[in-house]
Structure 1
Amino acid sequence: MLKIGFLLPPGFQIMGLAAASAFELANTTARERLYDIGFFSAPGGPVVNSFGAAVETQALARRRLDTLIVCGLVSPAPTDRQTLDRLRSASRLARRTASVCTGTFLLGEAGLIDGRHVTTHWLFARQLQQQFPAAKVDSDRIFINDGSIWTSAGMSTGIDLALGLIEADYGAELAAAVAKKLVVHHRRAGGQSQHSTLLQLGAKSDRIQRVLKYARNNLGSVLSVAELAAVAHLSPRQFSRAFTTETGQPPAKAIEHLRLEAARLMTEQSRHTIEEIAQETGFIDTERMRRAFLRAYGQPPQVLRRMARMS
Structure 2
Amino acid sequence: MHRIGYLLSDGFQMMALATQSVFEHANAVIADAFYHFELFSVDGGDVRSSAGFPIGTRVARSTSKVDTWLVAGVSDPISEPPPARMAKLLRQGSAHAQRIAGICTGGFVLAEAGLLSGRRVTTHWAFATQMQDRFPDVVIESDRIFIVDGQIWTSAGMTAGLDLALAMVEKDLDLEVARTVAHMLVMPQRRSGGQTQHAQMLRLAPKTDRIQTALNYAQQNLNKTLGVDELAQAANLSPRQFHRLFMQETGKSPAKAVESLRLEAARLMIERSRHTLDVVARETGFRDRRHMREVFLRGLGVTPQAVRRDARAP
Q: Which TM-score bucket, shorter chain as reference?
A: 0.7 to 0.9
Cα displacement string for residues 32-54 of structure 1 (whole angstroms, at most 9, x for unaligned residues): 11011000001111101111111
Query: How many residues were matched structurally?
Result: 259
| Structure 1 unaligned residues grouped into runs of 5+ | 220-256, 304-311
Counterpart code for 2:42: A
Task: Answer with 285-294 or 166-175: which moved more.
Answer: 285-294
Output the TM-score relative to the length of structure 2.
0.73
Task: Answer with 90-99 or 164-173: which moved more.
Answer: 90-99
Match runs of 1:269-280 below 5 Å: 273-277=279-283, 280=286
Is 1:87 equivalent to 2:90 in the alignment?
yes
Question: RCO greater where, 1 or 2, for CA within 8 Å and sep 6 or more?
Answer: 1
| Change over 3 Å in CA distance of 1:296–1:275 after alignment to 2 | closer
Tell me the equivalent position of 1:225: none
Shift of 1:264: 3.3
Is 1:129 equivalent to 2:132 in the alignment?
yes
Check whether the contact 2:147–2:154 (CA below 8 A) recurs between aligned residues.
Answer: yes
Task: Answer with 8-17 or 275-284: which moved more.
Answer: 275-284
Check whether the contact 2:265–2:284 (CA below 8 A) recurs between aligned residues.
Answer: no
Shift of 1:82: 1.7
Tell me the equivalent position of 1:44: 44
Matched residues in 1 for 2:168 and 2:287: separation? 32
Check whether the contact 1:260–1:292 (CA below 8 A) recurs between aligned residues.
Answer: no
Check whether the contact 1:278–1:284 (CA below 8 A) recurs between aligned residues.
Answer: no
| Change over 3 Å in CA distance of 1:145–1:273 after alignment to 2 | same
Tell me the equivalent position of 1:231: none
Matched residues in 2 for 1:20 and 1:142: separation? 18
| Change over 3 Å in CA distance of 1:259–1:43 after alignment to 2 | same
Residue 284 of structure 1, aligned match among 286, 290, 294: 290
Counterpart code for 1:178: V
Percent identity, aligned pairs only?
A: 41
SS of structure 2 residue aligned to 1:284: helix
Shift of 1:198: 7.4
Tell me the equivalent position of 2:73: 72
CA-atom RMSD in angstroms: 3.0
Check whether the contact 1:260–1:293 (CA below 8 A) recurs between aligned residues.
Answer: no
Is 1:156 equivalent to 2:159 in the alignment?
yes
Counterpart code for 2:67: D
Residue 120 of structure 1, aligned match among 118, 123, 127: 123
Is 1:215 equivalent to 2:256 in the alignment?
yes
| Change over 3 Å in CA distance of 1:82–1:211 after alignment to 2 | closer
Cα displacement string for residues 114-158 of structure 1 (whole angstroms, at most 9, x for unaligned residues): 011100111111111111111111011101010000000012111
| Change over 3 Å in CA distance of 1:110–1:265 after alignment to 2 | closer
SS of structure 1 residue aligned to 2:94: helix
Is 1:20 equivalent to 2:20 in the alignment?
yes
Tell me the equivalent position of 1:10: 10
Counterpart code for 2:76: S
Cα displacement string for residues 225-259 of structure 1 (whole angstroms, at most 9, x for unaligned residues): xxxxxxxxxxxxxxxxxxxxxxxxxxxxxxxx666
Check whether the contact 1:216–1:258 (CA below 8 A) recurs between aligned residues.
Answer: yes
Output the TM-score relative to the length of structure 1.
0.74
Matched residues in 1 for 2:27 and 2:249: separation? 51
SS of structure 2 residue aligned to 1:280: coil
Is 1:260 equivalent to 2:301 in the alignment?
no
Matched residues in 2 for 1:282 and 1:35: separation? 45
Is 1:166 equivalent to 2:207 in the alignment?
no
Counterpart code for 2:279: T
Check whether the contact 1:96–1:149 (CA below 8 A) recurs between aligned residues.
Answer: yes
Matched residues in 2 for 1:72 and 1:215: separation? 36
